[in-house]
């Protein structure tokens, strides 16, 4: 299984209410409203498509070369990258055990207040990484 995939995507702006997103290397499409992040919508569709292929034992196709893609005036070619470990974890959350060291006084105070250490660490890491 690969970790990174990058594919050409065609953004179609002909409809004022939606941005149609197609990947020439794949069948199917997705869309986003102008208010949505079309990159995130494209990444989600691409990642789910690749995950489905992996589950059924298929290999994702090779990307289509940019010079083989014809665009109309209301279309734009972009490249969408997905880092599969992140998207795999969104579908099935897996956990890893970590050992940490904290001051004794903080440990006692946290235990007295029934602090869930794992939940607190996850929330703090998400905040630190800007994932909230």
43 and 104 share one domain: no
Structural domain harbouring 12? 4-91
24 and 61 share one domain: yes
20 and 70 share one domain: yes
27 and 51 share one domain: yes
Q: Tell me which residue has tokens 């909230």.
A: 132
Indicate which CATH number applies to the domain containing 50. 3.30.160.250
81 and 129 share one domain: no
Q: Against a cut of 0.85, is the pTM above it?
A: no
What is the reported pLDDT for 28?
86
Asked if 29 contacts 22 with a C-beta cutoff of 8 angstroms, the reply is yes
Number of domains, the chain: 2
Return left, alpha or beta for 130; rule: phi > 0 is left, psi -120 to 50 is alpha, else beta. Answer: left
Average pLDDT per 10 consecutive residues for the chain, totaling 132 residues: 91 92 93 89 94 91 93 95 88 76 92 90 91 77
52 and 101 share one domain: no
31 and 72 share one domain: yes
């Amino acid at each position: 299984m690969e970790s990174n995939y990058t594919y050409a995507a065609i953004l179609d702006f002909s409809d004022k209410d939606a941005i149609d997103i197609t990947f020439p290397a794949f069948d199917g499409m997705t869309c986003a409203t102008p208010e949505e992040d079309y990159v995130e919508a494209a990444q989600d569709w691409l990642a789910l498509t690749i995950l489905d292929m992996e589950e059924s034992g298929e290999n994702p196709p090779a990307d289509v070369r940019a010079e083989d893609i014809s665009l109309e005036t209301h279309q734009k070619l972009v490249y969408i990258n997905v880092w599969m470990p992140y998207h795999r974890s969104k579908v099935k959350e897996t956990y890893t055990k970590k050992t940490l060291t904290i001051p004794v006084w903080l440990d006692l105070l946290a235990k007295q207040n029934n602090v869930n250490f794992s939940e607190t660490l996850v929330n703090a890491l998400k905040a630190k990484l800007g994932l909230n």
